[in-house]
Amino acid sequence: MKVAVYINNSDIRIEEIPKPRIFGGEILVKMEACGICGTDVMEWYRIKKSPRVLGHEMSGEIVDVGRGVKNFKKGDRVFVSHHVPCYKCYHCLRGNYTACESLHAGNYDPGGFSEFIRIPKENVKYGTFLIPPKVTYEDATMIEPLGCVIAGQKQLDIKKCQSILIIGSGVSGILHIQLAKLKKTKVIAMDINSYKIKKALEFGADYVIDAGKYSLNSLKNLNDGRAVDIVIVCTSAEQAVNNALSSVDRKGKILFFAVPETYIKIPTLRFWRDEITITSSYGASPDDLREAINLISNEKIDVRKMITHRVKLSDIVEGFKLASEGKASLKVVIVPD
């Protein structure tokens, strides 16, 4: 079968390897769509573990079922999460599923950017979900990104009428915009890319700011003369850190949904005196994924219009180029040849 082996963003090799063999409790899934995540093109993060087959936003059809699998059958349309908690450890027993070591260490075999994927027993048990009839395979690639956004916003205790600045209007930023608007908030989006600024407005932002022209006064002019209650950082640009810290009001919160390669420097005096909360978010629990599926299926979050490009597996280098440059694309989805 074909797989795409990641070396770096511009060197991804199509290779032939044997189709995985499944065992008891496992399933084999034929990939029908797999999204390119922002972390997939974050080269400084990915290159440390290359060569490897990436891809974790995968949906497909079950083509084989191992002994003992009762909840799924051949022909089922499924979305599969690559990370699942164990539900047994110290963190899981306290409901902190994304802190579970199993969630961070587990994966499916070999990765979503391949023709067939072996789903281990634990992922079948905790991370495999039937795709609702109205949801396409391509729609389903957005379940994991939306689940992560849901998990991130849960940390913020967002309330109606709060003001939120979302820095970075790519896929995660647009999802944050849509989810925040469901909560009746005022959303201000920011990006340096004119295409993404336009998309932020299309997907519900109340106001937009060109990051190249940002100033605290320009933000206050859009928010009744004050800084914002919440800032969500959805870009790894270092300047976004400074903009976030200058934009948040007293007693406000900053969520680092994306992080820069280097250290985050915090002005400690303001952090202390203004009682600013700074937090981060990684991954999603199965409960977050179920919520994402419901939001997509019930058309509360529009993911279909976010998919701007579909690229065949053999042309994945072009897909990575589109996703990494991000000049005129949102979600890039890999599909079979």
Question: Which residue type occupies 187?
Answer: V
The pLDDT tens digits for 10-36 are 899 999 999 999 999 999 999 999 999
Do 45 and 85 fall within a single domain?
yes
Verify that 189 and 314 share a domain, yes or no: no
Query: Same domain for 219 and 267?
Result: yes
Domain shared by 296 and 312, yes or no: yes
Specify whether 297 is located in the same domain as 247. no
**322 found inside a domain:** yes
Q: Are residues 13 and 138 in the same domain?
A: yes
Helix (H, G, I), strand (E, B) or coil at 230: strand
Domain count, the chain: 2
Q: What is the domain range of residue 329?
A: 2-145+284-335
pLDDT for position 59: 98
Strands 163-167 and 186-191: parallel
Q: In what order do the strands lie in the sheet with 228-233?
A: 207-210, 186-191, 163-167, 228-233, 248-256, 277-280
Which DSSP helix (H) or strand (E) runs through 29?
strand 27-35
Q: Are 172 and 142 in contact (CB under 8 A)?
A: no
Residue 150 resides in a domain:
no
Number of H helices, E strands in the chain: 12, 16
User: What is the per-residue pLDDT across 259-283, written as a single tens digit (0 to 9) for each?
Assistant: 988 889 899 999 999 999 999 999 9
Whole-prediction pTM? 0.95
> Residue 43 has what pLDDT?
85
CB-CB contact of 3 with 13 (8 Å): no
